[in-house]
Each structure stands twice: as structure tokens, then as C-alpha cells.
Amino acid sequence: MLDIKFIRENPDVVKKAIKDKGVELDLDGLLELEARKRKLTTELESLKYKKNLLSEEIAKMMMGEKAGAKDLVSDAKALSQKVAEIKQKVEEIEPKLANLLLNVPNICHKSIPVGAGAKANKVVRSWGKLPKPNFKLRNHLELAEHLGILDFNRAAKISGSNFVLFMGQGARLERGLYNFMLDLHTKKHGYTEVFPPFLVNRASMIGTGQLPKLEEDMYRLKDDDLFLIPTAEVPVTNIHRNEILKEEELPKRYTAYTACFRREAGSYGKETRGLTRVHQFDKVELVKFVARENSFDELESLVQDAEEVLQLLEIPYRVVVLCTGEISFSGSKCYDLEAWAPGDKVWLEVSSCSNFTDFQARRANIRYRSSKDGNLSFVHTLNGSGIALARTVIALLENHQKPDGSVAIPGALQPYMDGQTELKALNP
């Protein structure tokens, strides 16, 4: 959420953000409504002040039994009625204005490219050599069938389309991957591990910006008004909702494994086959609460933490800074990590690392107290996938496949697979 004072004083900046992000919002209408509320509020406070003075005068006259008290009582009743009328108008405006403010996007950082689609994104660096094997590569579906590690048909029987059932070595691989990531981020990168609820309330979803904009894409339990989390960003960021932190506590770093749930699985076709886009997937998330002065430096280090996962898994990738039209509603600056999938010959997003500045913190009311002057400021929140499955599984299978259809397990992952060095076909 943006500060209403900032919006009022910088309407052109906000209008540009609305346009650049492709959001439909009448900012002039919002500002007119906010101006009307301020005018009514000023009038209301003035009438309340007059009413209080009149009440004091009536009390003095009544004690002295002076004439004219009845006339003043009549005036006081008229003022009370006017106060009630204006108060009602203000109360009618407040929820409308609050909803409009929730739909104002965050301001894009000046360093990101301006553009409407993915073609405007900019590759800032890449890592690893793209494989050039002397045998025909299989895609992840062909490898999964050969290895017997995925069963989409039974997953569909259990839950429906775009769900996945990991079997045997596949289930072990999935577990090994997120345990490997959690150990890396806690033991080397200094994050505190948490294991949050997978269901969150509406206030939590509003706090991180998923609501009201993306409600249709979420799984919701209507009877309880709870939502299955689309990412661990939601519960972990809300750990400190309505709290005041000490500046010396910052930065706070958390990592969490969760399953993630999203109703929208994209259009059906080649680009959404198999593990590419599913309704439920596993992910290790990284969340930071930092002081406003160094949040963009913290974003760079967050990206590096996520990159190390791909480096240790020996998966070629590239880092892409998103343009204004591709960045999220809440984001100010975002890098995507895209892993190379040679079997499908595509780059797959496996991590998005974002700085939300104080946008989420205003919505969730997360502040910190300065150690110098005791003043309160909103923290800056950051988060990134560290990293997301199941697309990482696609990249791992396709990059480490052998001519016989077996898949080598990277050395960093082998301790999490009981020393197993490769995934072998059940029936070669």
C-alpha cells in the first residue's frame, strides 16, 4: 500500500506506475474521494468542537438556572444531528477509499526496464554452459516415464488435472531437494528456518498483496474464509504483522519449506505439460525484513543466495530483471532466475526475487524503531524462491540425463539421497 500523502503529492508518479504495470484504476476518482473525506472530516471535527463548547455553556447555565438554556439545548440537538449526518457520510466513504487504496500498485524502481511484455525483460548475467550432448535428449516427461518417478494419470484420478504424484525415487528426489536447500540457507546463508501453516486468513493475504487483486486465483475455504497459501511468502511475511521491531534486530532472515497452491494453471498446451505448471508444488522460500536504507543491496544478496542452489545443482541458468509490465503488483524490483531445460529447449522460471520496499509493510503494519532517535519507520520486505520445485526437477532431469535414460545426481545432492549417484530406470 502506498501512503495516501505520497499519492496526493505525487499523482503523476503513481499514474505512471499504474500505466506501466497495466493496472486499471481511476486515480483521479480516488483522489477526489479522498479530498471529499478530508473535507468532511474537517467539518466534522469543527462541529464536534462547537458542540462541546455549547455543551459546556449549557451546563453552566443550567447550574445557574439562567434563561436561554432551552434555546441552547435546541441548538445542541441540531448540531448533534448534523454531526451524525456527516459522520455517516465519512463512514460510507471509508471502505470505498480503503478498497481503492488496496488496488494502487507499488512504484517501480527507476532501474528496471519499461515495457509491457516479457520481451522487455533484460538478462543481466548467466551461469553454466548449455549442454551439447552427442545423443538425442529426452524431455522430462520421457525421462520420468523411463525412470518410473511420476504418475500424472493417478494424480488426476485422485485430484484432477494439473496435479502430480511423485513415486519412489521421484518422491525421494523431491524430499532430498528441499532438505538440501533448507540446510544451505540455514547453515551457510544465515536464515532462520520456520515451518508455517499452509492455510492463512484474509488479513494475511491482504498484507502481502495477493488480495483483493488475485482472489480468483486462490483456493479458498469458504466456510472459514481461509486460503491455501500460493507461496510461503504469505505466512512468513505475516509473522511480524502489527509488530514493532528493533532496528538492531534487522535484517531478519527466514526460510521455509511449504507446499504451494494455485488455481490458475495457465492455458493447456505444450508449454504447460507435465511439471511445467501445476496446481500444487513444493518450494523453499526466503523472506527478509530489512531497514529501508539498504533494501536494494539486500535484494542483490538474496538473489545470490538463490543462485547458489542452481550452481550446486549444476544447472545452467540466467538472471533476468523484469520490466514494469511483468513485475508483480506489489513489487518494486524483481529478478527471475531461469533454468535451462535442454530436453524441452526452454528457459524455466524457478525463482522470483523481489523487493517490495515498504508496500507490504504498510498493509501489514510492520515497523521498526530507530536505534538513533527512536522514530518509527516501516520495514522493507523482500522475498524470493530459494528455489521452487517442480520446474527445478525438470531442469535437473534434463541437464543430467545420460544416453541410457538414467540421470546423474549432482554431488551436492547425493548426501540427501543416501549417497545415491544416479536415478536408474526400474525396467531398463
Show which residues are catalytic: 262, 277, 349, 352, 391
- Backbone angles phi and psi of 67, in degrees to 5: -70, 155
Please give the grid coordinates belonging to residue 97: 477509499
Whole-number Å distance between alpha carbons of 143 and 398: 8
Give, as one character, the DSSP assignment of residue 400: S
Name residue, grid cell 494475511: 204
Side chain identity at residue 420, one-letter code = Q
Amino acid (one-letter) located at 358: D
User: In terms of Cα–Cα distance, which of 306, 361, 303, 309 is closest to 333?
Assistant: 303
Q: What angle do CA 148, 154, 158 make, to 5 degrees?
A: 145
DSSP states of 191-250 as a string?
PEEE---SEEEHHHHHHHT-TTTTGGGS-EETTTTEEE-SSTHHHHHGGGTTEEEEGGGP
CB 14 within 8 A of CB 107: yes
Side-by-side strand order, sheet with 199-201:
199-201, 226-228, 220-221
CA end-to-end distance (rounded Å), the chain = 56
The C-alpha atoms of residue 119 and residue 108 are separated, in whole angstroms, by 18
CA dihedral sign, ordered 181, 185, 188, 194: negative
Distance (Å, whole) CA 163 – CA 262: 11
- What CA–CA distance (Å, rounded) separates 365 from 379? 9
Q: Which three cell numbers stand for residue 325?
A: 509490465
Angle at 111 between CA 296 and CA 290, to 5 degrees: 15
